[in-house]
Amino acid sequence: MPYLTANSINNAAPEMPLAESVSAPATSHFREFNQTIKHTSSLGQDTLLGPPNGRRLQCLAMTEYDIDWDKVTDEATDILSRYIAIDTTNPPGNEEPAVRFLEEILRKDGIEDLTFYDASDETSKGRLNMLARLPGDGTAKPIVLLNHTDVVPVERGGWDEDPFAGLIKDGVIWGRGAVDMKGMGVIELIAMLLIKRLGIPLKRDIVFLAVADEEAGSEYGAEFLAREHPEILNAEYVLNEGGWGTTAAMGTDRPAFNCAVSEKGPCWLTLSTEGRPGHGSVPHHDNALDRLLRALQRIQEWERPRTVGPELSAFFAEAHRGGYLEEKPTDDSIKAMAEENPLISALTTNTISLTTLNAGVKHNVIPASAEATIDCRLLPGTDAEAFIEELRAVIDDPKVKIERALVSSTPASPIDTELMSVIKDVTREHVEDASVLPSVSTGFTDSRVFRNAGVTAYGLIPVLLEPAEAVTIHGHNERVSIENLRLGCQMMFEIVRRISS
């Protein structure tokens, strides 16, 4: 799914919305952190001395625990490699083997508070969800480490390596789900395992929630859980996918982490028409396909207004404060950027994409029916039913039926929270000169289910991706570097530890 990232603002090429040429490799911003020499002071604060060039970094609190990050990284790498090798392509999903794999790891570390939720039905089997819990003392509501176990399909011919081998090569882990989202799932898993091993006292429950079916709309995953087991939504915070770190932002060679606080809502619609079939040599005015094409043409010509929502304004304002954007942004300047940048354009209006068109049985037969699917993405706060009625008026043909395939929306999560403060602190301590930018996702995630229940949900995969890595998500050659996996584990552990203890 595409996300608004600071790295995408200056690039209007629709086929590569995240790409921007940068001079520094992704790992250069945090390699120094991993090479420092630790010294624990009498105050319990670790001062990081070195590296050789004399630059001084400091990390508060996290190094008071005796963690061998080399061993942890090796463990995370091995888990992710084996996890990728479990093919959970959706459709059909069949996520149960992945859940059993995670279950075994959790049980080996003595985490026995596990609950399983089987959403399988007659049409789809193996749709298992799992909740693992580390109990706190109850003085604060739980934090949910949310991840999905399914992955999108692959076109094997476009891959340089086997997408389901979990290959580790030249410091990189290859395979579908390496970032979205088995990699993030492992990062969250490692945080939970470390907190358990270290016996850290907790003020809140830590919930590891591995769900099915996110890539196909969550009917067998988060939506099922919200409907059948709403008690799971009783939490204060959720950490999920939705954004990540980029090596440069808006032409500035400084890293930025995009933390999704909101997302556009899916409104997937099916348009269908019926007409009189006949011989192709004798055209008439009741051709179902002609009628559908006229409707689609009217939709294409529909000019929808641009709106700069508060979440998008906050993103650009923070980018300006962080020195990534020279001029102070205004609604007019953001709308002007939207005219040149497809991603900003998508975040300032309700979008419609024609995705499938089906009609006809033979070259010389006028079809009796025709059908098209459109993928509409609605800005936060948009009334989906009002939008559909507007669409109906634009089509202006009662013989064109509109059916809802998936309609969902989400409010935005607040930005001024304890968790956001922790995320910003941990980011600054781990990645030199980095800022956290509250962003909006053009794609939808399972965070919407929790936000609709009033839970603050943030989307942040704590890795630094170069453009060539970012564009592999949902594409060919998805991969993540071991060094990025290490960074993700370090940051996630520290974020979860601080907010939970």
The model's pLDDT over 394-453, given as tens digits with 9 standing for 90+, comes to: 999 999 999 999 999 889 999 999 999 999 999 999 999 999 999 999 999 999 999 999
Residue 65's pLDDT band (boundaries 50, 70, 90)?
confident
DSSP string, 103-153: HHHHHHTT---EEEEE--BTTB---EEEEEEE---SSS--EEEEEE--B--
DSSP string, 50-116: --TT---EEE-SGGGS---HHHHHHHHHHHHHHHHTS--BTTT---HHHHHHHHHHHHHTT---EEE
**Burial classification of residue 91, based on how many CB atoms lie within 10 Å of its CB (0-12 exposed, 13-18 middle, 19 or more buried):** exposed
pLDDT tens digits for range 298-325:
999 999 999 999 999 999 999 999 999 9
Q: Of the ranges 17-21, 105-109, 442-446, 477-481, which one carries the lowest mean pLDDT score?
A: 17-21
pLDDT tens digits for range 452-478:
999 999 999 999 999 899 999 999 999
Helix ranges, 396-454 (H):
418-430, 447-451
If phi over 0 gives left and psi between -120 and 50 gives alpha, with beta otherwise, what is residue 360? left
pLDDT exceeds cutoff 80 at 57: no
- The Cα–Cα gap between 405 and 156 comes to 29
Question: Is residue 16 classed as helix, strand or coil in its secondary structure?
Answer: coil
pLDDT exceeds cutoff 90 at 77: yes
Residue 270's pLDDT band (boundaries 50, 70, 90)?
very high
For the chain, give the mean pLDDT.
89
Please give the pLDDT value at position 40. 33
With beta carbons less than 8 A apart as the criterion, state whether 408 and 383 touch.
no
Average pLDDT of the segment spanning 255-259: 97
Smallest CA-to-CA distance from 271 within 362, 378, 394 is with 394
Please give the pLDDT value at position 251. 82
- The Cα–Cα gap between 247 and 254 comes to 6
Phi, psi values for residue 353, rounded to 5°: -125, 130
With beta carbons less than 8 A apart as the criterion, state whether 325 and 314 touch.
no
- The Cα–Cα gap between 446 and 213 comes to 10
Average pLDDT of the segment spanning 30-53: 35
Please give the pLDDT value at position 385. 97
Neighbours of 365 (CB within 10 A): 12
Average pLDDT of the segment spanning 189-198: 98
Residue 343's pLDDT band (boundaries 50, 70, 90)?
confident
Question: Whole-prediction pTM value?
Answer: 0.85
Question: Is residue 264 classed as helix, strand or coil in its secondary structure?
Answer: coil
Give the residue, 249 or 13, on which the prediction is more confident. Answer: 249
Domains in the chain, start-ordered, CATH in brackets? Answer: 6-10+67-263+411-500 (3.40.630.10), 265-406 (3.30.70.360)
- The Cα–Cα gap between 375 and 355 comes to 7
Average pLDDT of the segment spanning 145-149: 98
Please give the pLDDT value at position 25. 37
In percent, the amount of the chain with pLDDT more than 90 equals 84
